Structures are given as C-alpha cells and as structure tokens.
Structure 1
Amino acid sequence: MANTIPRSPSTAESRIRRRWLLRPGLQRTRQQRTGQQQTGQLQTPQSQTVPRQRLPRLPRQELRSRLELAGLLLGTSVLYLWNLGASGWANAFYSAAAQAGSQDWAAWFFGSSDSANAITVDKPPAALWITGLSVRLFGLNSWSILVPQALMGVATAWLLYLAVRRAARPATGDDRLAHLGGLLAGAVMALTPVATLMFRFNNPDALLVLLMTAAAYAVLRSIQDARFRWLLLAGVFLGFGFLTKQLQVLLVVPGLAAGYLLAAPVRLGKRVLHLAGAGAALAVSAGWWLAAVELIPAENRPYIGGSQTNSILELTLGYNGLGRLNGDETGSVGGGNGWGTPGLLRLFNSEFGGQIAWLLPSVLVLAGALLWLGRRAPRTDAVRASVVVWGLWVVVTGLTFSFMAGIIHPYYMVALAPGIAGLAGLAGVLLWQRRSLPAAAVPLAAAVAAAGAMAFQLLGRSPAYVPWLRWVVLLLALLAVVLLLVPPAPAGAGKALQRSTAAAAVAAVLAAPLAYSLTTAATAHSGAIVSAGPAATGARGNLAGPGNFSRQGTLAGPGTPANPGTANSATRAAGGFGGRGGGGGMGGLLGTSTPSDALVTALQTGAAKYTWAAAVVGSNNAAGYQLAAELPVMAVGGFNGTDPAPTLEQFQQLVADGKIHYFIGGSMMQGETGSDAAARISEWVAANFQAETIGGATVYDLS
C-alpha cells in the first residue's frame, strides 16, 4: 500500500520536469526509451535508432538575462582595467608594503612597510595580504598590484545585482523586472566616479567596500532564506573588513542589524541571539590578528605605524578610531577642516560632491516612497528589510562623514556607493512597476528631477568640462519627469512610450556619472590623496589637478609646495636637508620619491651586507626608493614622520651594528603633533656623517 501513495516532486525534480516540458521532442524520446526498457526491447549501440540527446536549451528570456549580466560585468571590467598601468605604483605607500610582503612572510602578516620589518603601515594588513600574494605570484609591477582592486569592483557590482534581484523578484512577481533592477544597481555602483577611482587604485577602500557589500548580501540572504549561517558569514565579512580599515566597517552595522532584527522570520528572542552570534563571529574574525599582534613581544615584530606607543589598540581606538570623529589624532597632519567645515552639506561641496553626491538626494526620496507604499507589508517583507539595510547604510555613513572632525579625504566617499546603488536599483524598479499610482509616480519623477538638478549643479563646477553635457542631462531629466507624470498611454503605443520614458530616466541619472567615470579611468592617479573626475572650482584652492589632491601645507612633489605660502605654522622640517635636484628628490608627505639610476645602483651595491639599504624620513619617501631598488628601506617616523620609531638611541645602535647603509636626506612636512624622533635622527646624521650627492639626492654613508 505504501507504494500507491503519490509522492510530491522535489524542487530539483520539478525543475527537470519543467525543462522537459519545454522540449516535447526530448520528452517523447525519454518515454520511448522507458517503454523499450519495460518491454525488454533493448537495442545494441550499433542498432539503436534513438537520436543522440542534446542538453536542454535555456529559455530565451533567461539566456537574454544572462547575456545582459555578462555585459554589465564585462563593461565594468573594461572600465576598471583599461590602461590601468598608467597609474604606475598608484599609492606607493601601499605598493611598497605589498613588495615587502612578497619578500618576507612576517612582513606580509604584519603589513610592514619594508621586508626587514622596521614599521607597519598605519592600517591593518588585510588588503595587503591580497596584493602581497599577487606580487609574490606575478612579480612586482603596477598590474599585479592594481588588478586585484579592479576585480573587487566587478565582484561588488555582481553582489549588488544579486541582492537587488532577490529582493525585487517576489515583490514584483516578474523575473525580468527584478533582473533589470539588479542591473540598474550594478550599473549605478560601477559608474559612481569615486568607485571607478578606488577600484583602479590600491588603497584599502576597495576591499573594504567589497566586504561590506558581501556582508549586506549575506544578511539579506539570511532574512529571505531563514538560514542563520548566512548571518554568521556576514559577521566574518565584517570582521575581515575591520582588518582592512578598522572601525570604519562598523558604520554599516546599524543598518544590517536593524534589517535582521526587523524582518528575520523567527521570534524576537532568537533574532537577538542570532545577532549576538554574528557579533561573536565579527569579534573572532577581527580579534585573532589583534590578539596575535598584542601577544607577540614588541622586539619580535615591527613597530605599529600610526601609534605613539607601539600598540595596535591605540591605533584602533585613537588614530584610526575616535580620533577620526573628534579630530584628536596624535601624529596626524591636521584636522578635517582642510576638506570643508563639518556640517550637513559637506558631502555636496566642491571636494566631495563630484565623487558621490549625484544620486544622494534621489535615493532618499525613493527610499521614503518605498517605505510608505510597503507600510502594510508583513514584518518579514524582504523589500522593506532591504530598504532598511541600504537606507541606514547611506544615512549613518553619510552623517558620520558629514560631521566628523578628524582626517577625511574625498575618496572615503566610496563607502557610500553600495547603499546608494542598492536603493536606486530596488526602489527604481518597484516604483516603476507601480507608476500608475500617484504615490509611486510622483516620488519617481521627483527622484529623476533631483538627479538632473544635482548633475547640472556639479557639472557647472567644471565649466570647461564638456560644457554641453549639463544641458543635455537637464533636458533628459525634464523629459523623463513629464513622461512619468502623464496618464498611461493607449494600449497600442504603451510599450514604445514606456521604453522612451525608461531610457530618458536612466540616461538622465547615469550620463553625468558615466562621463566623470570615463574621465577618471582615462587619468593616471598617484599619491596619497586622489580624487575622481575633472578639477572643480570652489575647492578651497587645493585641487592640484584631476588626478591628484594636494592638501594645503604639504609637499605634492619633489620639493614643490602645493600652495606656496600656505604651509601650516606648526610644520617642522625633518632635518632641513636639500635633495631636491634631479631624479633623487624627496617626495614629501604625500608625494613619492623618484630616485635616479645612479642612486638605485648605489643602494643595490653591497646591499647583502646590510639589513636596510637605506633609511629616510617618511613612508612615502621610503616607498619610492624601495620600489626602485627592491630592497628594504627604513621609513623613519612612519607615514607622517611623527611615530617614535625608531628612537634616536635605537637608530644609533642600528648604525653601530652596521645594519643601515645610507641615510637619504631631504625636507619633509610633518604633522602638528607626535614624536620628534625623526627630526632628532636627521640632525644627528647631519652632525656626524659626511654628506655626498648621488643623482641629485643628498646621501650619508652610515657605514
């Protein structure tokens, strides 16, 4: 009797059955073969007349969707990879650390600036783990350092596509519309100018954004699938995000936690316990490396760059933590006022606006409309959960960047891009589907109008840059607004009008960011502070060009002040050496040294006898020499020359032990606070050793 009870088909069986139903010919072939087996009429391979089977073809719509997704990812890859090598070492500070990690596993683990492990960079090493392995595998060149970041950008666009499509599919009941929403989210992410910049650059921000996006996808997947393991995976992603750029990763945690606490399909107590488990996964994923650094004796590891006490905890909570919020950062180059006065409109000013602000007002309008339309949806509604996750991502991160008083640079804005893209893709298609309702059509039209107005304003800050584009974008936005607000067209002309409306809206939203992104990709970028797009007017006078940002009071190149006469009064010269001539000039705080062939030869001669081929004040200065000679160069004082590493006594002992061959002199701006050990070392070297000039650089032979 048990065999007579019908069994419901499994999901896999149902999928196979649907595929067979799409191919009746194959179904008949299967039935014929089954009948032959039952009647014993089996044929030998030589006499078999059943035609050879082919794999079932994909339905045309699914094939089209896959090709469109492939087109998005391929286009993103081209944008991020084209002419990538033009940027050279990009941020040589991190390139030198990648080179060091490729030569020594301890340097790789700690994120040291040199392979002899004098001092680390001022960030945890997760991003350097990837580039260090890439250099170890493919050799030291700009492509091995920069390609990993470009691939991270492609992966970020893909994850956004997946997250938006999964949320939109049940809400729309239309696979095609959900797919288009995912494509729109991926395109907005890929074409955000600051994203194009940072996924072609080797700062840690590229990996940070990828890990935060992966965490958001995992949280939303956990809500939709009711699987706790996805939430644990999100905690792991966030933990490694902490090991990429420390406390900045926590800016997305409120949105992720609120989304899960609101919408997860389990009772409240279990939701709280699940979040505690994810928090534990975050702590373990981040804490194992911090614990290792703290437990290893200081004499057995490099100095922790960016700290004044050789402590990773100090770096975490101070220089890279609360100091970014309140401006109390010992050893820094000054507060955030150099990038605009903190306030609600900071992200729209000349330094930040062109990087990220194109769709910022629009997505806030869209998010509010979507929450209103879904106010009666079940608690577990995936759309509302997504709006909470992406919306709080934008609000919390945006407000933090707006009001923080510590160091902030324009490229930090890439952290906002996934939240903006997720809201744009999800809300865009859902409101489009309901555009017959005024509650959807009006906010959608308002969002397009806001995008057009913002583009008109931002493009106007670069009057010589494609001057006609701002007018075209404005006209497209006005056209799209009118078409969105007109009554639905008759059945005959409906599709054509819909396509025209959608095309005008998408063009108005993406045309200006696309132009900025293309300009960014066509421009070589190098140095410590970079920005996307063309130069903008009204940027407080500290825009050095479309590729490089140079802060007031710092050296942007070999001995050349970015803004003569505006140096901070607290600036101190580290020894006052010359070394500004020829190719051996000092790079300064934000620039990178470019050594001459003669100096490189001198550094390489007899290098096997020494632990460090040379020592020089400042990490950027050291990076240029190290990358050229591919030998350890000690960065005295760390990034700003303000870390007490080494002290004068320690440096004197290293010289006495014959571990440092040369000291390379040059002037360099230092921070407003911090140790003066670098200046004391420079003065001691100048007083006790004979200076010589090699390739235009002032050099002291310490041997």
Structure 2
Amino acid sequence: MTATLTPTDPPTATPPPASPARTGRERIALGVLLAGTAVLYLWNLGASGYANSFYAAAVRAGTRNWEALLFGSLDTGNTITVDKPPASLWVMALCGRIFGFDSWSMLVPEALMGVATVALVYAAVRRVSGPRAGLLAGLAMALTPVAVLMFRFNNPDALLVLLMVGAAYATVRALEKAGTRWLVLAGVLIGFAFLAKLGQALIVLPALALVYLITAPTGFWRRVRQLLLGGLAMVVSAGWYVALTEIWPADSRPYIGGSVGNSLLQLALGYNGLGRIFGSSDNPGGGGGFPRGGGGAASGFPGGGSGGGIGAALGGGEVGIGRMFSTEIGGQVAWLLPAALALLVAGLWTTRRAPRTDPTRASLILWGGWTLVTMVVFSFAEGIFHSYYTVALAPGIAGLVGVGGHELWRHRATWPGRATLTVVVAGTAAWAWVLLGRSATFLPWLRWVVVALAVIAVVALLVPVSGRQWAGAGLLAVVLAGVAGPAAYAVDTSITPHTGSIPTAGPATAGGRGGFPGGFPGGGAPGQGTPGDGRQRGAGGGRGIGEEAATDPALAALLQASTTKWSAATVGAMGGAELALSSDTDVMMIGGFMGSDPAPTLQQFQAYVAAGDVHYFVEGGGGFGGGPGGPPNADQLLEQVPQNVRDSPQFEQFLDQARRGGFPGGGGDSSTITEWVKANFASSTVGGRTVYDLTKHT
C-alpha cells in the first residue's frame, strides 16, 4: 500500500525532543540568575522617588478613582489622560490600592516584571538550545543597561517588553507541536502589549508570524489558519479597550491626551503610530507641539530633516543605520549587538541544510527577525525617539547571543567554527573598548580587564588543548569578556536615582546629548549637571524633560489647605504632576503633557471656576522643566540650540509659546486660559511661583 502526500500533510521531519528536566545544578544557577536580577532591579529602588512624575500622577489618581484608573487620567477629576493606553498604569495603581500609594508600591511591580522577563527569555532559549544557552541569554537580558533602567522606572516599557517576550515564548511553544492554543496566547499577549504602548508592540509581530509560517511542523494552509486565529486574538485583546473609549460618550470621560479629536484610535495611528516613524507636526500632546523640521521632513525641529529631527534633539541619536551604535544609544543597549548579528549569520549558515522545522534555525529566525526589524524601525524613525525605547531591542539581542552562541560553540572543534568564534569574541571586546572609552572617567581600568579577558578567551579557543577544565575556562573567559562592560553600566544604573521623562542608563558619555544640543534639558538646566547625562544623582542633579524642581513647602501647604475639587490648575503636566504629588491633592493639568491638548477649553475652565471647583492657578507649569519661577528657562533654551535652529521663524514661535506655558500646533486653550486668569484674578508669590486665587476677582 502506498501513501500520497498532499500539500496539507505534515512533514516527515522528526518532532523536536521534549525539553529536558532541570538538574539540581541548573536550578541553582537559575536561582542565582533570578535572585541577582531581583537585587539589581530592586536595590535602593525608592531613591528615584516618583521617577517619571507624569505617570506617577496618573497612578496616584488611579488609586483613588476607578474612572481615572480605567482611562489613565492625570487627576481624579478626569480632565485628561496620559498620552498612552493605561495598561501599565493598571498594574501600578492596583498595587497602590492594595499596599498604599508610594514610590515602592509603584516601582516594585516594574522590577518584578524585569525578573519575569529574564525568566521568560531563559525559558524560551532553553527549550531550543539547552540550559547553558538559556542562562546566557537570561544573563545578557538582565545586564543590558537600558533594561536595568526601565525595569526600575514607571514608564510603560516594562510591561510592554514583558508581554512581547511572553508572546515570543508562546510562539516557541507553538512551534514544537504546531499548537494553536499557544499561538492564540501569543496574539493575546501582543494585543495587551498594544494597550501598554500602542504601535511599538507590533514591531515584533513580523518576526513571530514569519517564523511560524516558515517553520511550524504542520501543513501550509493550517499554518495560515492558525496565524489568522492568532491575529484575531490580538485584535480582540487590544480592540475591546479601543472600542470602549470610542463608544463611551466623549463628554462623560476624560480627553484622550495626545490625540487629535479625542480619539484613542487616532492616537494609535498618529502620534503614537506613524508619527513616530515618519515624524509629524499635526498632533498635540508630545509630538505636535514642535515645529515641523526643515528640508521637507516632519522632523520636529528646523534643519532636522534626514539625520536630524526631534528624535535626535531629544537624545535619540542621529537618524540612520548607525543610530543604534551612536554615542547616545550604544552604551544603552548595543554592547552585544555586533556579536548578536554575527551569531545570527553564523547560526543560519550552520543550519542551512537542516529540515524546514529545525528548532534551532526557527529560534534564530525568531530572535533575528525581532532584532533586525526593531533595529531598522528605531534607526530610521524620524519622529519622537528616546534612547530608552531600545529596551525593546534587548530581548532579541539576548536570544541571539544564547541560541547563536550555543550553536557556534558546538562547532568550535572545526576551524571555521573556531575562527568565527574567535572573531566574535575579539570584536565584542574591541567594541566594548570603544563604548567604555566614551565614558573615559568611569572605571578607566575596566577597558584593560576586558582586553585581558578577551586575550585569555582567544588563546583558549585557538590553542588545541583538550579537557573539560580547559574548555570551561575558555567558556568563562568568553562570557566575562562579553558582559564585563554592560555589567558595570548596569550596576551604575542600579545605584543611581533616575527621574524625569528622558532617563538614560549608565554613566555620562563624552559628546552625548541627553536633550537639546548642549545637554538641556535632558541633562538639566544650563550650567547644571553633565551634558548628555539625563538622570539624577541625588539632590542637585540635573533634571530631565518633564521634571520640575520639588514644589516649595509653602506652596504645597497652600494647596493642601484647599477644599475644592481641584486644589489648583496649571498649564501642562510637567509642572502639574509635581504639584499634585508634592501636595497630595488633585491638580488640573491644562493641555496635558505639553500643555497643548484642547482640554479643558476656555469655556470649560471658566465654568469650573464659576462652580468653585478650582481654587488656585499656578503660573509656570508648562515649558521644558521650568524651574521654581516657571518657564523662564525658555530663554535659557535659546542659548542651548544651534544658530541655524535659533534663527528659524518656527523656533521663534516655539520659544514664544514655551514662555507662555504651552506649545504651538495643539489647538489647546492654555495660553488664552492663562491670559484670562491674569486679567481677572489677584496674584501673589508663594514659594517662588506666581499664584492666582480664583476665588478673588480683581
């Protein structure tokens, strides 16, 4: 009897073996890895205070009002939301409801997400390449400096990365036996990642879909049907919330911050979608407040164009293929990036004759696709781009290091394999020498340690000496040579408090820009901090964008004594969030993040004042981190930008709006509200700030 294969018949390749049981030694090693990660991510966590006060204010509101929790409102009065979906806020706010709202209850969930991410990277790689490869991948993930930063911070990136890695793990499980349930789970996780940070969650989708379509051990059309089911699961898990906000009557929910037309769907497609890739000046809240760039590019600043733009101006490095290796980005995430790319090529070559369903090649396609797509999108994004976004690149690099490193190590007995491994080790050490040289005053001896370790590793690889001890020593030298640099940056990141909207990992780098050219505002106000060092070093450190100086106690006490619905109103969340957190009262943040959203309108604000819902108006809330006196830093900003930008009419418009506490392009009423308040109410100076009593007409 003969059998005929049809196009839908499964291939005859041997199914992958079941994942081996963990030995006692592996359990100990895994325990050490996860415990070490927990210490690294939790150590002195409270020193960062409320970290990014913009999100902290929304977390505080969510602990006190269920509607604010549902929508991610900046205050319990539900005036306006943050400019992202609220999934990450749900986690932090629910924790705050259980344990009480403070820095620890907000940041500990983020750190634990980091530990879980490392565990999932380990598990996904282990199932294909074994425990050593899994441990190596987990170690690479744990020690990536930008990962240490973001898993100790309250931005949405922690939940985003955890869910994306969870989707990758589910895909690995689905590939073992063409499991539909695992693939559907992957779609669900990507959908919820979308509710953490919208379009960025979809960057890894091509890699997940492609690897399943190519390598899953079942017929082609069944693979297609399964992928469609996974896509449907993704749409449902993300779409329910988008539909909820679109259906909910707009006049009975907060304004969707950062959107045009009060729409979360538009926010996803615009400011937090295509606007990030191609640049946009049409949106308020974040992106639309900046003038359109020169040269026909919507790059955010005059003269931005190709190779410049708002992303570069805000410490995101110049647009182009070298962005991930730039001074701003390299030390954050790229320590093992050249090695990962080389291991991807080597691994695909060694598995070129393997069956279509080969697990190793499938894993290389998964992590390689993740890395390449993310790298290309980030490198050429012309919209708003910050260096910390690259935390989404870290899992792909870690996966390639684990899987590709294991595959190349298996071939070290052959001259091609040994030579390739030697080049990878030497190249990684040379790249670490370059990166460490950018922070020349930071542990200057470490460069030589890396060189010494690399020499030992190269000798161990090239000298044909047999024996497990010699091989073990060589492997240890290879690993240490690769992780010594990022480990030092990771520890430095862990012991350094970080606040503001644009934090950076590791020590300051020569020539780096933490904000606008010259270092402001990512590195603090002019004359403070170190250019390019967009992080806090305790009291007196430079402030990042969106982080004001602490509210004066007298002003905080004044707001605390208020009994109105909102103790005060101020333009923008940059200053409003700090006021709310310092006084533990509700502060209306007019215009949202940048003060440019049309919420509330002048008529709405006048109605609130007439109803006695707002007691004070605090001037100087908007602008780029305006100090205790408000936005006069707009004039200092003029001194910190290049002459060609300074002379631009668009920048003059930007500067004028910054002085008044808002930004052009958003269509908000922040300036007219400010002018109306000044014309109608008495003012006084409290704690260095001009305060208007909205209960006393002039």
Q: Is the structural similarity TM-score above 0.5?
A: yes
How far does the alpha carbon of each residue in 1:339-363 deviate from its partner, in whole angstroms, 9 at most, with x for none? 3321110111111010011011101
Provide the residue aligned with 1:424 in structure 2.
401
Structure 2 gaps, min length 5: 1-17, 291-299, 301-309, 532-538, 621-629, 632-657
SS of residue in 2 equivalent to 1:635 = strand
Gap change, CA 1:555 and 1:226, over 3 Å in 2 = closer
Q: Match for 2:691 among 696, 699, 703?
A: 699
Gap change, CA 1:356 and 1:182, over 3 Å in 2 = same
Q: Is the 8 A contact 1:598 1:694 kept in 2?
A: yes
The Cα shift of 1:485 comes to: 2.7
Q: Is the 8 A contact 2:502 2:544 kept in 1?
A: no
Provide the residue aligned with 1:449 in structure 2.
426
Q: Is the 8 A contact 2:503 2:544 kept in 1?
A: no
Q: Match for 2:266 among 314, 326, 348?
A: 314
SS of residue in 2 equivalent to 1:614 = strand
Q: Match for 1:110 among 59, 63, 71?
A: 71
How far does the alpha carbon of each residue in 1:131-156 deviate from its partner, in whole angstroms, 9 at most, with x for none? 01011111121100110010000000
The Cα shift of 1:390 comes to: 0.3
Q: Is the 8 A contact 2:572 2:595 kept in 1?
A: yes
The Cα shift of 1:453 comes to: 1.0
Provide the residue aligned with 1:22 in structure 2.
none
The Cα shift of 1:364 comes to: 0.7
Letter in 2 for 1:242: F
Provide the residue aligned with 1:34 in structure 2.
none
Residues 494-513 of structure 1 mapped to structure 2, 5 A cutoff: 494-513=467-486
Letter in 1 for 2:485: A
Bigger shift: residues 473-482 or 641-650: 473-482
Give TM-score, length-normalised by structure 2. 0.84
Provide the residue aligned with 2:580 in structure 1.
626
Letter in 1 for 2:182: W
How far does the alpha carbon of each residue in 1:379-405 deviate from its partner, in whole angstroms, 9 at most, with x for none? 111111111110010000001111110
Q: Is the 8 A contact 1:152 1:206 kept in 2?
A: yes
Q: Is the 8 A contact 1:252 1:393 kept in 2?
A: yes
Gap change, CA 1:657 and 1:619, over 3 Å in 2 = same
Provide the residue aligned with 1:603 in structure 2.
559
Q: Match for 2:329 among 325, 349, 352?
A: 352
Provide the residue aligned with 1:617 in structure 2.
571
Matched, 1:471 2:448: yes
Q: Is the 8 A contact 2:145 2:332 kept in 1?
A: yes
Matched, 1:267 2:219: yes
SS of residue in 2 equivalent to 1:531 = coil
Provide the residue aligned with 1:535 in structure 2.
508
Q: Is the 8 A contact 2:204 2:373 kept in 1?
A: yes
SS of residue in 2 equivalent to 1:702 = strand
Give TM-score, length-normalised by structure 1. 0.83
Q: Is the 8 A contact 2:601 2:668 kept in 1?
A: no
The Cα shift of 1:588 comes to: 9.2
Provide the residue aligned with 2:357 in structure 1.
380
Q: Match for 1:83 among 44, 54, 65?
A: 44
The Cα shift of 1:606 comes to: 3.7
The Cα shift of 1:486 comes to: 3.0
Over the matched positions of the two proteins, sequence identity in percent amounts to: 52
Matched, 1:517 2:490: yes
SS of residue in 2 equivalent to 1:103 = coil
- Mapped to 1, the partners of 2:516 and 2:41 lie a distance apart of 24
Q: Match for 2:128 among 167, 176, 184?
A: 167
Residues 25-44 of structure 1 mapped to structure 2, 5 A cutoff: none
The Cα shift of 1:630 comes to: 2.1
Gap change, CA 1:464 and 1:672, over 3 Å in 2 = farther
Bigger shift: residues 425-434 or 515-524: 425-434
The Cα shift of 1:65 comes to: 1.1
Matched, 1:656 2:610: yes
Letter in 2 for 1:513: P
Q: Is the 8 A contact 1:160 1:213 kept in 2?
A: yes
Residues 533-682 of structure 1 mapped to structure 2, 5 A cutoff: 533-539=506-512, 542-543=513-514, 560-561=525-526, 590-607=546-563, 610-666=564-620, 667-668=630-631, 669=658, 670-682=662-674
Please tell me the root mean square deviation across aligned C-alpha atoms, in Å: 2.2
- Mapped to 2, the partners of 1:386 and 1:465 lie a distance apart of 37
The Cα shift of 1:653 comes to: 1.5
Q: Match for 1:147 among 108, 117, 124?
A: 108
- Mapped to 1, the partners of 2:688 and 2:385 lie a distance apart of 35
Provide the residue aligned with 1:35 in structure 2.
none
How far does the alpha carbon of each residue in 1:643-670 deviate from its partner, in whole angstroms, 9 at most, with x for none? 1111112211211121111111114434
Provide the residue aligned with 1:689 in structure 2.
681
- Mapped to 2, the partners of 1:656 and 1:247 lie a distance apart of 41
SS of residue in 2 equivalent to 1:146 = helix
Residues 233-252 of structure 1 mapped to structure 2, 5 A cutoff: 233-252=185-204
The Cα shift of 1:229 comes to: 0.2
Letter in 2 for 1:286: A
- Mapped to 1, the partners of 2:668 and 2:682 lie a distance apart of 23
Gap change, CA 1:193 and 1:538, over 3 Å in 2 = same
- Mapped to 2, the partners of 1:553 and 1:311 lie a distance apart of 34
Aligned length: 604
SS of residue in 1 equivalent to 2:569 = strand
The Cα shift of 1:562 comes to: 7.2
Provide the residue aligned with 2:53 in structure 1.
92
Residues 152-301 of structure 1 mapped to structure 2, 5 A cutoff: 152-168=113-129, 178-301=130-253
SS of residue in 2 equivalent to 1:362 = helix
Gap change, CA 1:588 and 1:193, over 3 Å in 2 = closer
- Mapped to 1, the partners of 2:517 and 2:233 lie a distance apart of 39
Q: Is the 8 A contact 2:418 2:461 kept in 1?
A: yes
Letter in 2 for 1:616: T
The Cα shift of 1:315 comes to: 0.9
Provide the residue aligned with 1:41 in structure 2.
none
Gap change, CA 1:500 and 1:555, over 3 Å in 2 = closer
How far does the alpha carbon of each residue in 1:590-638 deviate from its partner, in whole angstroms, 9 at most, with x for none? 213522222222212242xx22111111112111111122221111111
- Mapped to 2, the partners of 1:562 and 1:278 lie a distance apart of 53
Gap change, CA 1:261 and 1:408, over 3 Å in 2 = same
The Cα shift of 1:438 comes to: 2.7
Provide the residue aligned with 1:483 in structure 2.
460
Q: Is the 8 A contact 1:198 1:206 kept in 2?
A: yes
SS of residue in 2 equivalent to 1:237 = helix
Letter in 1 for 2:312: N
The Cα shift of 1:228 comes to: 0.7
Gap change, CA 1:665 and 1:554, over 3 Å in 2 = farther
SS of residue in 2 equivalent to 1:112 = coil
Q: Is the 8 A contact 2:194 2:201 kept in 1?
A: yes
- Mapped to 2, the partners of 1:400 and 1:442 lie a distance apart of 32
Letter in 2 for 1:129: W
Gap change, CA 1:672 and 1:399, over 3 Å in 2 = farther
SS of residue in 1 equivalent to 2:392 = helix
Q: Is the 8 A contact 2:502 2:545 kept in 1?
A: no
Provide the residue aligned with 2:389 in structure 1.
412
SS of residue in 2 equivalent to 1:622 = helix
- Mapped to 2, the partners of 1:538 and 1:469 lie a distance apart of 20
Provide the residue aligned with 1:303 in structure 2.
255
The Cα shift of 1:516 comes to: 0.3
Bigger shift: residues 123-132 or 643-652: 643-652
- Mapped to 2, the partners of 1:384 and 1:239 lie a distance apart of 26
The Cα shift of 1:701 comes to: 1.0
Q: Is the 8 A contact 1:251 1:396 kept in 2?
A: yes
Q: Is the 8 A contact 1:149 1:206 kept in 2?
A: yes
How far does the alpha carbon of each residue in 1:25-74 deviate from its partner, in whole angstroms, 9 at most, with x for none? xxxxxxxxxxxxxxxxxxxxxxxxxxxxxxxxx99x81111111011000
Q: Is the 8 A contact 2:546 2:573 kept in 1?
A: no
